[in-house]
Structure 1
Amino acid sequence: MALEVKVGVKGMTCASCVARVERALKRAPGVEEARVNLTTEEAFLRLQEGVDLGEVLKQVEEAGYEPVVARAEIPVKGMTCAACVARVERALKKLPGVLSAHVNLATEKAFVEYLPDTVTLPRLRQAIRDAGYEPLEVAQEEKRAPAYPLDLLIALPFAFLTLLLSMGPMLLPLPHLPPLFQVLTALPVLYAGRRFFRQALAEIRHRSLGMSTLVALGAGSAYLYSFLVLLFPTLFPEEARHLYLEAGAVILALILLGKHLEEKAKGKASEAIRKLLALRPKTARVVQEGEEKEIPAEALIPGDLVRVLPGERIPADGVVVEGFSHVDEAMLTGEPIPKAKKPGDEVVGGTVNGEGPLLIRVSRVGEATVLAQMARLVEEAQAYKPRVQEVADRIASVFVPIVLIIALITFTLWILYGPGLSYAFVALLSVLLIACPCAMGLATPAAIAVATGRAAQLGLLFRKGTALEALARADTVVLDKTGTLTQGKPTLTERLGFALDPLEALRLAAALERGSEHPIAKAVLDAAKDLSIPEAQAVRALPGEGIEGVVEGKKLYLGGPALMERLGVALPKEAWELSEKGYTPLYLADGERLLAAFGVFDPPKPEARRVVAALKALGLKPVLLTGDHPIPARRVAEALGIEEVLAGVRPEGKVEAIRHLQAQGRKVIFVGDGINDAAALAQADAGIALATGTDIAVEAGDVILLSPSLESLVDAILLARRTLRTIYLNFFWAYAYNILLIPVAAGILYPFTGLLLNPMLAAGAMTLSSLFVLSNSLRLKGFQPRSFTVA
């Protein structure tokens, strides 16, 4: 059956744009028809069933236009296990126009990428509702009361009373009371556990069985069997006329308790985001016409002037206009030492002002602030599912039906070969109750939620959850030199004149470099700041070589050895020796002869050698990648202990260099500045970008290091490895638990020990399984930075 979708397309200006988009769309496999409307900026598509919509949109992007894609984060109430997650994801993915849907059980949220011209947010919510769950508005989620306490207050005391009435007389000198008393104490527990029965009906109706089905069948069977024995005792053999009301009541009470503890643990798993957002102050002191007025911080707009007193939190992102102070940016970078701030410096909302008052001009508010971006990036990373979780989801989707089959086979075998009906019933209940799909559903999201939250507290932002897995599996770390391994503040320390006086040559070189943002250009301009710098015309950058332009009527070239070689300019021995001394050489020529040479030195970061040693100790191979000349590059590499150097690589060649390493079977991490290295960051298995100032919206890079220290790179790798180990341990427990205990519940030990697992113990074991997974994941909160030290 053909599928019809509407896609918004940005960037079209004329009829030729329309034709280009239509051609691009028709090239995509599975597109039967494509019509584009310039007025509404929409494309109408008829697609074959099963077509990958993402691939179709890729054609639009490759044609140079932007498809309109929306992202929604929908809180979902009522999910209890991996089967629930699978059901919600299936319901969302069925909708035309949904590109991807990931549901996180730990944070109880659905993350959906969709085409807003085809499917609306209310329709997404309705799909979740149709699947048997309750989609919440963000405001509803903030007001949401804890789900279990009230029912738990009813269930625990009444379950205890039911157990006391049933088993108390066997253990204590208590009178045997009529069964009616057990019924009266067990019924309130049945009411308290009503959610499981309601959810089970929804699961059965949608033909997707989960934990609630098992609990409802287990506890419901205990209640039903007991009521039938009380009402129609003659239907049962005398030895089978037992009541199991205490089992049903205790089962429901234990599972409610387990779910309550699970809710609390899940809350702890994602509390890092709440803590981040809680750093925003509620009010701000605005200065208007010389007067100060306190207003709600959310009412600030860009351009407002805000006074921040010592010890106060800064209410929004901005620039210091007046005052000097030190600001504690630990929440942003993880660094405990406050940073000095003066007029012109950027500050971030939520950070704490130190000893001096500051006047700040607001630059970003609301969702545009660094704090809001951090919270958004953490939540997006938490939606990720590693490959192991995808396998687990497929298993979880068939797990409950398999358990039901095992339970029926167990019951049948006990009826045929066991001592009596009561034994068969106990084994049936135990199998239903001990099987735990909840632990499978929590194994990954709980660990990732804790890890990404802890990472944010340490100044490590995971933009993509895939980075956790890629970092943990990597064997090679490619490090850009300038600004990554070095301080990124090169200084011009050597000047050699050949056909020109060195100062005159520096004046001309500065004219060519004026306006450039390259660190070496800044070094030249800093050295020439006291000179009279002329204007340059026809300035043109020569990628990977340098720059050319006309200064005072002369055509001049400024660049490295590659440029001089192309121009055929001979370099005297003194000019060559700059490289051998460890400087980055910069040559000024007129096209025929060398006019002057400069030596630029960018010292390595103090921690760079320690970081390289730490990477090696972790079994990683460090590689230095730079556009610099091989000789100074090797000098830096030797000083830091790096054996493998890829030097003289042009910006466009960095991608090819990483591809070459990947072709050797290596898993590559690339560490760069996130701006000049965007393509290389995207090509690597994991791209790590160093944020500059307060710009954390680095488009390239799977991980952003907010800390100025390169040691946070080691922290990111260590945290990723520990997270993956935690996920594997969670899965080992979840599967080992089920594989070992389901046969025990079925009675495999009975022939040898004469013992049969009590259904109440089975329910308790089920609860403990989920709590183990959550508590194991919460151990990641204790991850400490710099935990890997090298002498």
Structure 2
Amino acid sequence: MATTTDAPTSTELAITGMTCASCAMRIEKKLNRLEGVTATVNYATENAHVRHSPDVSAQTLVATVEGLGYGATPPSADRSGDGDDDGDAETDELRHRLLVSLVLTVPVVALAMVPAWQFADWQWISLVLAAPVVLWGGWRFHRAAALNLRHGTATMDTLISLGTLAALAWSVWALLFGDAGMPGMTHELSFTSDPGDAIYLETAAAVTTFVLAGRFFEARAKRRAGAALRALLDLGAKDVALLVDGTEQRVPAERLVVGNEFVVRPGERIATDGEVVSGVGAVDASTVTGESVPVEVAPGSAVIGGCVAVGSRLVVRATRVGADTQLARIAQRVADAQNGKADIQRLADRVSGVFVPIVVAVAVLTFVAWLVLAGDVSGAFTAAVAVLIIACPCALGLATPTALMVGTGRGAQLGILLRGPEVLESTRRVDTVVLDKTGTLTTGEMRVVGEVDGTALRFAAAVEDGSTHPIARAIAEAGRRRGPLPAVDDARTIDGLGVSGTVEGHSMLVGRPVLLAERGLELSAQLRADLEAAQADGATAVVVGWDGAARAVLAVADTVRETSADAVAALRALGVRPVLLTGDHETAARAVAAQVGIDDVRAGVLPEQKADAVAELQAQGHAVAMVGDGVNDAAALARADLGLAMGTGTDVAIEAGDVTLVREDLRAVPDALRLARRTLGTIRGNLFWAFAYNVAAIPLAAFGLLNPMVAGAAMAFSSVFVVGNSLRLRRFS
């Protein structure tokens, strides 16, 4: 029998029903047990990336996942657009359950905590209000706990389900068979109260509502995890002017095939990768390649889909379409980087995997010990329930969402938007920050820099005023700031090399040095020195001449943000090494790096190589944060341990990043690191005290020294402590 040598196949599965990172790990382990299968399951994107041998079908993979109790959508199904709808439906359902539960919980908690408000038969009203919260509002937790039980594991859902159901069950028992259902019963907090008349409906309802709130905010953050890919797809042109027998026909961009010729007018996006057939102009590639200066193109020049034509009409022949284009490859790199990220488990889940079985075992042992040693069924049940209630994760459920909400709220006031709790764990380890140049360290806007001859600028600005080229606009704007521009006659664009015209009787020529050399305008020694100085600083040199003589050199460059140097200094103060990574040329990159104080410069990096550069730093043992703003940064932002996107950049970069910096100030980067670390420290502190409270109180409950009523009060105190600790983040500055 011949041995198959077919290459492995890649399959993407959409996974539903996961409630925590341990679910993703369980699915991943099960898939990897199949022969010839290597799987990575991403909890954040609810996606499984599977490489498998050809003899393993997609149906087999789906059946394996479904055998664990989760849902899986095979690649053959048409899921176009459905993912967005499903994400919205899940968030809407959680919001609905949360709002209803909140409305029902508030009066239950108020009645339980304020004895003066406890009217006759108030406890029965509380039962009517609390039961739907626990059973309907917490249905997700109970279902997940049952699924975990089926596979012999335990997570936070197990704790939530056990604790809330135990509190509800005990309350119903006390109401029906104890003294709690008697008219006139009041709910006093006392160490010596008879456990037979104690109910814990407020505990069951409040825990459910708090944890629902945390799940809602988590679902909303997860909903955005796949937005980077959608933003990349939206960047491409939707339709194109296809040339058919010399006539333009507007058709959908996806109908283009290799060899088609199409027209791109100034301001339009190039529909796909191609080669210029006719026309001379410039292409703004800043959102794709990071080049701050538009690239001059002529017949034979290669252009990239997604870039914007400026200056003149171009005819382009398609050379790559669909998945072969550079934009599509960047999108694939974003997907690969997201799938390659390590699964991040919630801190509480990691501990509860051990904690929950211990709590259940202690409750069972408590019940048995009381029966055997004391022969007291009521006392045994009371002590066992007290153990479960004291272990109910109210404080655990609050530990992450309260700190996260306060931290992100404070961050929003400072112009820093954190994507979710998983971001925080990355900030603690970051020791290297990779900075993009254009739009990050710099403003991304061309300006005339250095000393400028007033007359030369005025004349040049007048000739350039009619052009849409970014360099021309920079010169025109600089001239306009000096005063009104004179009139110009016979203004003409010269083959992408410059412009000419007549200003106040002078025959003007403005453009590249080669243009003036072709027209016989020689540069003096001083002008050559100015030209070399401009190029050494990474600026674009524009020569201005009139009446047959070269008169001045204008330096046009992307300017460095005023706060960039301070931001780099602040990063160094945090013990973080800055690295400049850009697609721009070496000279411009080093000039910017010198101004802001960066020693490590990596220039001329292609878009698909940026993620590789980040991976190289990670392979050297560094935890890397990436700061960028363009499409070319998206894959690197997703690949980095922490991605920080400038909010003034493209939607693609913003969606691929873990942190969005709203304000145009690079000093937000060290602020974001400090805020994230402070928030993570608060969460860790909350979790420590929540578990410490459990560890200290469970023995008291097991020995009958803590009745369920006091257990509920202790739990309420731990929740207040956690909230108060989280509120300290409001003072972050």
Q: TM bucket by the smaller chain?
A: 0.5 to 0.7
Give the Å deviation of 1:172. Answer: 6.9
Residue pairs, 1:341-740, within 5 angstroms: 341-385=297-341, 399-406=352-359, 409=362, 425=385, 428-434=388-394, 436=396, 618=572, 732-740=681-689
* Cα pair distance change 1:312/1:743, threshold 3 Å: same
State the one-letter code of the partner of 1:317.
D
Task: Determine which of 161, 168, 171 is the counterpart of 2:104.
Answer: 161
Q: Distance in 2 between matches of 1:340 and 1:250?
A: 64
Partner SS state of residue 377, structure 1: helix
Alpha carbons 1:223, 1:245 under 8 Å: kept: yes
Task: Determine which of 90, 95, 103 is the counterpart of 1:147.
Answer: 90
Q: Distance in 2 between matches of 1:396 and 1:205?
A: 18
Give the Å deviation of 1:194. Answer: 1.6
Which residue in 2 is equivalent to 1:664?
A: none
Give the Å deviation of 1:205. Answer: 0.7
Q: Distance in 2 between matches of 1:670 and 1:131?
A: 47
Task: Determine which of 168, 171, 176 is the counterpart of 1:226.
Answer: 171
Which residue in 2 is equivalent to 1:202?
A: 147
State the one-letter code of the partner of 2:43.
L
Q: Does 1:298 align with 2:254?
A: yes
* Cα pair distance change 1:182/1:474, threshold 3 Å: closer
Which residue in 1 is equivalent to 2:245?
A: 289
* Cα pair distance change 1:172/1:349, threshold 3 Å: farther
State the one-letter code of the partner of 1:199.
A
Render the CA deviation track for 1:711-764: whole Å, top value 9, x for unaligned.
x9xxxx999999998887676555443222122245659999x97565885997
Which residue in 2 is equivalent to 1:89?
A: 28
Gapped runs of 5+ residues in structure 1? 1-34, 43-67, 444-464, 478-525, 531-601, 624-635, 646-667, 689-693, 705-711, 780-791
Render the CA deviation track for 1:565-617: whole Å, top value 9, x for unaligned.
xxxxxxxxxxxxxxxxxxxxxxxxxxxxxxxxxxxxx979679xx99999999
Alpha carbons 1:427, 1:746 under 8 Å: kept: no
Alpha carbons 1:427, 1:747 under 8 Å: kept: no
Which residue in 2 is equivalent to 1:627?
A: none
Percent identity of equivalent pairs: 27
Partner SS state of residue 130, structure 2: helix
Partner SS state of residue 106, structure 1: coil
State the one-letter code of the partner of 1:116.
S
Alpha carbons 2:180, 2:197 under 8 Å: kept: no
* Cα pair distance change 1:104/1:766, threshold 3 Å: farther
Gapped runs of 5+ residues in structure 2? 182-192, 404-422, 436-513, 519-534, 540-556, 580-589, 625-630, 644-652, 654-665
Give the Å deviation of 1:105. Answer: 2.5
Q: Does 1:104 align with 2:31?
A: no
Give the Å deviation of 1:378. Answer: 1.7
Q: Distance in 2 between matches of 1:407 and 1:393?
A: 21
Give the Å deviation of 1:151. Answer: 4.9
Task: Determine which of 323, 327, 339 is the counterpart of 2:279.
Answer: 323
TM-score (norm 2): 0.55
Partner SS state of residue 154, structure 2: coil
Task: Determine which of 684, 687, 691 is the counterpart of 1:742.
Answer: 691
State the one-letter code of the partner of 1:92.
L
State the one-letter code of the partner of 1:160.
V
* Cα pair distance change 1:719/1:300, threshold 3 Å: farther
* Cα pair distance change 1:697/1:613, threshold 3 Å: closer
* Cα pair distance change 1:349/1:206, threshold 3 Å: same
State the one-letter code of the partner of 1:142.
D
Give the Å deviation of 1:308. Answer: 2.9
Q: Distance in 1 between matches of 2:174 and 2:609?
A: 77
Render the CA deviation track for 1:387-446: whole Å, top value 9, x for unaligned.
xx78x69995663232341465489789989x98768746633523147599999x9xxx
Alpha carbons 1:74, 1:109 under 8 Å: kept: yes
* Cα pair distance change 1:363/1:337, threshold 3 Å: same
Of residues 197-206 and 75-84 in structure 1, the stretch that sits farther from structure 2 once superposed is: 75-84
Which residue in 1 is equivalent to 2:53?
A: 116
Render the CA deviation track for 1:97-134: whole Å, top value 9, x for unaligned.
123x333222222233x232242333223222222222
Render the CA deviation track for 1:39-58: whole Å, top value 9, x for unaligned.
x545xxxxxxxxxxxxxxxx
Q: Distance in 2 between matches of 1:148 and 1:730?
A: 24
Residue pairs, 1:53-72, within 5 angstroms: 68-72=7-11
Q: Distance in 2 between matches of 1:764 and 1:243?
A: 19
Partner SS state of residue 340, structure 2: coil
Q: Distance in 2 between matches of 1:273 and 1:759?
A: 47
Task: Determine which of 74, 91, 95 is the counterpart of 2:13.
Answer: 74
Q: Distance in 2 between matches of 1:97 and 1:757?
A: 52
Which residue in 2 is equivalent to 1:583?
A: none
Render the CA deviation track for 1:357-411: whole Å, top value 9, x for unaligned.
332222222222222222221222223346xx78x69995663232341465489
Q: Distance in 1 between matches of 2:671 and 2:337?
A: 17
Partner SS state of residue 164, structure 2: helix
Q: Distance in 2 between matches of 1:745 and 1:620?
A: 38
* Cα pair distance change 1:409/1:376, threshold 3 Å: same
Q: Distance in 1 between matches of 2:166 and 2:711?
A: 18
Q: Distance in 2 between matches of 1:697 and 1:180?
A: 56
Q: Does 1:214 align with 2:159?
A: yes
Q: Distance in 2 between matches of 1:350 and 1:686?
A: 32
Alpha carbons 1:251, 1:763 under 8 Å: kept: no
> How many aligned positions are there?
529
Alpha carbons 2:241, 2:250 under 8 Å: kept: yes
Give the Å deviation of 1:204. Answer: 0.9
Which residue in 1 is equivalent to 2:208?
A: 252
Give the Å deviation of 1:316. Answer: 2.2
Alpha carbons 2:281, 2:313 under 8 Å: kept: yes
Of residues 740-749 and 250-259 in structure 1, the stretch that sits farther from structure 2 once superposed is: 740-749
TM-score (norm 1): 0.51
Q: Distance in 2 between matches of 1:174 and 1:132?
A: 44
Higher relative contact order (CA 8 A, sep 6+): 2
Q: Distance in 1 between matches of 2:90 and 2:611?
A: 45
